Structure 1
Amino acid sequence: MQTWDIEFRSLTVGYGEHVVLRDINAVLPAGKVSVILGGSGGGKSTLLRHIIGLSRPISGSVLIGGRDLFRLGTREFRRVRRQMGVLFQDGALLGALSLAQNVALPLSEHLHLPRPLIREAALRVLRMVGLEDFADFFPNQLSGGMRKRAGLARAIIAEPRILLCDEPTSGLDPITAARMDELLRSMHEQYSEMTLVAVSHDLASLRAIADHVLVLRDGGAIFSGPLAALEASDDPYLRQFLHREAGDQQLALHQPQNPAVRTALDAWLDS
């Protein structure tokens, strides 16, 4: 399978006239695990939407395997999109379908194959993520970590060239998060030519899975390179981010309540 890198050239993205990221120039290398890192609201998920092709850039280009995604014809654009698997934050499973049916959706919706063959394909990837015994359970019968693993199984069932993961460890306890990191790493070893991109602000996950890191801040990209280079950086913000330092900003925690509001609250609480 040919590997595809993901390249941003002078990319500016946003919503309407609101610019979220400006003039991004970076390459997420083919066949590697890249993590897009940054603070909350920093544009990580917005950038992911543009890689998937769900949003069009204000200016600049997103190149997938050397081809400008937004200059492709409709048919070729769909072909590229078929080569992408997506793990959404909450797994995005359909509540009315069993786990096996959810996982099989990319095949059952697009391929004319016998149902037993499609179910076997679903069981194969559920086996890979340790959920084969739960194939006939429904999403509301599973834990959050199990739903994420099922979402990962669905994302890889068609063996895509690019796997995109939006906050794969968010909402998980540390042990479950570590298991998800281990699963992503072992899965990438099995599909070594797959380009895997994870959006995250989880530093433990970053250090567990990343080969390459893109760091976003203040509407731009301030670092793009190997994890080792990021760890060795002496940039003050990167050091602060990686070591979870609060910085010099002080929050004004003591803000007296307006007396009229305070009086009204006291009267209501005592009534």
Structure 2
Amino acid sequence: MHNWDIEFVHLDAGYGERAVLRDICAVLPAGRISVILGESGCGKSTLLKHIIGLSQPMAGTVRIDGQDFFALKAAAFRRVRRQMGVLFQDGALLGALSLAENVALPLSEHFALPKPLLREAALRVLGMVGLQDFADYYPNQLSGGMRKRAGLARAIIAEPRILLCDEPTSGLDPVTAARMDELLLSMHEQFADMTLVVVSHDLASFRAIAEHALVLRDGSAIFSGRPDELERGEDPYVRQFLQRQSGDRSKAQRAALNPIARAALDAWLAS
């Protein structure tokens, strides 16, 4: 079974008539961990939605395993999507279901499997992310890091060919974020055929897990290649991004409040 790569060919993408991404040409290599980097609003999430098939390109193509994804007939399109697992930014667990029930959802929604078999499958992947003992807990009883690990377990329960992770370390403390990185590397080792795509702006995570980097800026792809090549690059924006520099040294200036509003605010604060 060969691995699936993801290729963008002159892709324009956006919402309505507003293009967010323009002329994206890049390949996320099969069987590798690719990290999509860029500042907020650069189009990372929009690109992810097109890989998943939630949004149609305005122009150009998305190729998965060499096939024009959006030109596939409905049945073939669904078959490809079934081969994708998604870790959403907040875990996206259902509060009314236990952890085991949440994790088993991809199987219970599509297959008429006995409940004991579903639970066995859920416990197997919960064990892989270190949460087997919390199978009967509910999402509101767990920490943010645990919810993300449970989301990862759900994303991999059907052993997808492509795993897509949206900001897997956002909102986590440094130690928990490092554990999430280690977990993704472990998934990569256990599922050698899986293509991992991680959307992130976490530089520590990028340096820990990336085997390929795609950098977006203002809707364009300004780099696609190996992380070591990115680190050695001389592009000013890339250097600022990797060194966490704003590029703007100007200090914030306090704007004056309207005098009438200022008087009302002062009176309220003094009351």
Normalising TM by the smaller chain, what interval? Answer: over 0.9
- Alignment-mate amino acid for residue 236 of structure 1: P
- Alignment-mate amino acid for residue 245 of structure 2: E
Q: What residue in structure 2 maps to residue 11 of structure 1? A: 11
C-alpha deviation, 1:22, in angstroms: 0.4
C-alpha deviation, 1:192, in angstroms: 1.2
- Alignment-mate amino acid for residue 160 of structure 2: P
Alignment of structure 1 residues 46-195 onto 2, 5 Å: 46-195=46-195
Structure 1 CA distance, aligned partners of 2:46 and 2:251? Answer: 28
Structure 2 CA distance, aligned partners of 1:97 and 1:258? Answer: 51
% identity of equivalent residues? 75
Q: What residue in structure 2 maps to residue 237 of structure 1? A: 237
Q: Deviations over 1:154-178 (max 9, x none)?
A: 0000000000000000010100000
- Alignment-mate amino acid for residue 246 of structure 2: A
Q: Displaced runs of 4+ in structure 1, greater than 3 A?
A: none
Q: Residue 43 of structure 2 contacts residue 218 of structure 2 at CA under 8 Å; is this kept in 1?
A: no
Question: Which secondary structure state, in structure 2, belongs to the residue aligned with residue 85 of structure 1?
Answer: strand
Question: Which secondary structure state, in structure 1, belongs to the residue aligned with residue 256 of structure 2?
Answer: coil
Q: Deviations over 1:28-59 (max 9, x none)?
A: 00000000000011110110000000000111
C-alpha deviation, 1:260, in angstroms: 2.2
- Alignment-mate amino acid for residue 122 of structure 1: A
Structure 2 CA distance, aligned partners of 1:243 and 1:187? Answer: 29
- Alignment-mate amino acid for residue 213 of structure 1: A
| Larger displacement relative to structure 2 (100-109 or 247-256) | 247-256
C-alpha deviation, 1:252, in angstroms: 3.6
Q: Deviations over 1:183-202 (max 9, x none)?
A: 00011011111000000000
TM-score (norm 1): 0.98
- Alignment-mate amino acid for residue 88 of structure 1: F
Question: Which secondary structure state, in structure 2, belongs to the residue aligned with residue 179 of structure 1?
Answer: helix
Structure 2 CA distance, aligned partners of 1:83 and 1:158? Answer: 8
C-alpha deviation, 1:251, in angstroms: 4.3
Q: What residue in structure 2 maps to residue 38 of structure 1? A: 38
C-alpha deviation, 1:113, in angstroms: 2.0
Structure 2 CA distance, aligned partners of 1:156 and 1:251? Answer: 46
Q: What residue in structure 2 maps to residue 207 of structure 1? A: 207
Q: What residue in structure 1 maps to residue 26 of structure 2? A: 26
Structure 1 CA distance, aligned partners of 2:29 and 2:240? Answer: 26
C-alpha deviation, 1:254, in angstroms: 2.5
C-alpha deviation, 1:61, in angstroms: 0.3
Question: Which secondary structure state, in structure 1, belongs to the residue aligned with residue 101 of structure 2?
Answer: helix
Question: Which secondary structure state, in structure 2, belongs to the residue aligned with residue 7 of structure 1?
Answer: strand
| Larger displacement relative to structure 2 (258-267 or 189-198) | 258-267
C-alpha deviation, 1:249, in angstroms: 4.8
Q: Residue 9 of structure 2 contacts residue 25 of structure 2 at CA under 8 Å; is this kept in 1?
A: yes
Structure 2 CA distance, aligned partners of 1:219 and 1:250? Answer: 25
Structure 1 CA distance, aligned partners of 2:67 and 2:99? Answer: 35
Structure 1 CA distance, aligned partners of 2:82 and 2:270? Answer: 62
Q: Deviations over 1:62-120 (max 9, x none)?
A: 00000011000000000000000000001111111110010011111111222111111
C-alpha deviation, 1:248, in angstroms: 2.9
RMSD, matched Cα = 0.9
Q: Deviations over 1:189-241 (max 9, x none)?
A: 11111000000000000001100000000110000001110011011110110
Structure 1, unpaired ranges of 5+: none
Are positions 1:221 and 2:221 aligned together? yes
Q: What residue in structure 1 maps to residue 267 of structure 2? A: 267
Structure 2 CA distance, aligned partners of 1:180 and 1:212? Answer: 18
Structure 2 CA distance, aligned partners of 1:48 and 1:251? Answer: 35
Question: Which secondary structure state, in structure 1, belongs to the residue aligned with residue 160 of structure 2?
Answer: coil
